[in-house]
Amino acid sequence: MKTPKLTGLIAAPYVALNADASLNLNAVESQVHSLVASGVSGAFICGTTGEGVSLTTAERMAVATRWCEIAGPELRVIVNVGHTALGECQALAAHAQKIGAFGVSNFAPFFFKPGNTNDLVDFCAGVASAAPALPYYYYQIPSMTGVSLPTADFLRAAQNKIPNLAGVKFTFENLMDFAESTRLEDGRFDIVFGRDEMLVAGLAVGARGAIGSTYNFAAPVYNRILKAFSEGDLLAAQAEQARANAMISVFIRFGGLSAGKSIMRLIGLDCGPVRLPLRSLSEAKENELCTELEKIGFFDFCSVLN
């Protein structure tokens, strides 16, 4: 399958929830409009940031349906169908194809883990076969799955077993493996970089597209990184990366995903609480977060709403 490579920024959206933690599908329209207005080219839904593993299969299908209904041609929707059960992955993948998603992706099973690359490939081949008309991306995220088998080895073993294999969502710090993966088969595979805090480094070793959570609320600063790098202005790219990393430092210090949902609320796009076992920030903590973001000038470069 010949698929155009993903370029630019692809956001990993937060799942919008009501106060009682039920789905708030009405918020998706505002999320889509904000991403498009901020120069984002795609959405990787129901992944880590989207709390996919905390949603039921029916909820994940409902979220995917809504995103595909609203996104339109300006926003490519890739659906994470990762699950510990192959059958659930396949049901989600088949559904993604039915509703017109751009592509599907899954991470490695993370309870019973694949013991070697061939076992991982066989699992992923089963997932990809349920959506044969869509590009398939393996989702490499060892920090959450505990599976760190090299993606270059995965691609070598999978290229003849997964006809719709497009590439990898690479959320890992191993830049040697990333670079090797981008060079395989004369650059055949689309290796999409997934560490916001290392975007300049990813670009330096071959990244063309990037998927990240902070692109939901700070896309302009990352677009400046992409522009500066493409123009050969490494110093400007590094300066913008430093600005982004000051924000990421605050983001991490206040709880990562939970803080991200608070930041969405602070820019005017309320995605509600997080689901247990995660815990939303208290009002006092959210106010403290806002103060810290003001200190680093975040509201001068945050995403726009529409």
Tell which residue, 263, 249, 265, 259, has the closest CA to residue 281: 259
Over residues 163-183, the pLDDT tens digits come to: 999 999 999 999 999 999 999
Res 306: pLDDT: 58
Burial of 279 (0-12, 13-18, 19+ CB in 10 A): exposed
Residues 27-55 pLDDT 10s: 999 999 999 999 999 999 999 999 999 99
pLDDT tens-digit readout, 250-285: 999 999 999 999 999 999 999 999 999 999 999 999
pLDDT at 305 over 80: no
Torsion of Cα atoms, 37 then 43 then 47 then 49, to 10°: -10
Class of the 8-234 domain? alpha beta
The C-alpha R_g of the chain, in whole angstroms, comes to: 18
Confidence of residue 198 (pLDDT cuts 50, 70, 90): very high
Please indicate whether residue 227 is annotated as part of the active site: no
Contact indicator for 211, 193 with CB cutoff of 8 Å: yes
Q: Check residue 78 and give its pLDDT.
A: 98
Q: What is the 3-state secondary structure (H, E, C) of the chain?
A: CCCCCCCEEEECCCCCECCCCCECHHHHHHHHHHHHHCCCCEEEECCCCCCHHHCCHHHHHHHHHHHHHHHHHHCEEEEECCCCCHHHHHHHHHHHHHCCCCEEEEECCCCCCCCCHHHHHHHHHHHHCCCCCCCEEEEECHHHHCCCCCHHHHHHHHCCCCCCEEEEEECCCCHHHHHHHHHHHHHCCEEEECCHHHHHHHHHCCCCEEEECCHHHHHHHHHHHHHHHHCCCHHHHHHHHHHHHHHHHHHHHCCCHHHHHHHHHHCCCCCCCCCCCCCCCCHHHHHHHHHHHHHCCHHHCCCCCC
Res 4 pLDDT > 90:
no
**Residue 1, pLDDT score:** 65
Catalytic one of 14, 136, 139, 215: 139
Catalytic residue, chosen from 14, 136, 137, 169, is 169
> What average pLDDT does the segment 2-24 reach?
94
pLDDT at residue 102, rounded to an integer: 97
Question: Mean pLDDT score of the chain, rounded to an integer?
Answer: 96
Cα(243)–Cα(132) distance, integer angstroms: 41
pLDDT at 303: 80
% of the chain residues with pLDDT over 70: 99
Q: What is the pLDDT of residue 10?
A: 98
Q: Is 261 an annotated catalytic residue?
A: no
For residue range 90-149, what is the model confidence (pLDDT) as tens digits? 999 999 999 999 999 999 999 999 999 999 999 999 999 999 999 999 999 999 999 999
Is the CB of residue 181 less than 8 Å from the CB of residue 157?
no
CA dist., res. 162 & res. 166, Å (int): 9
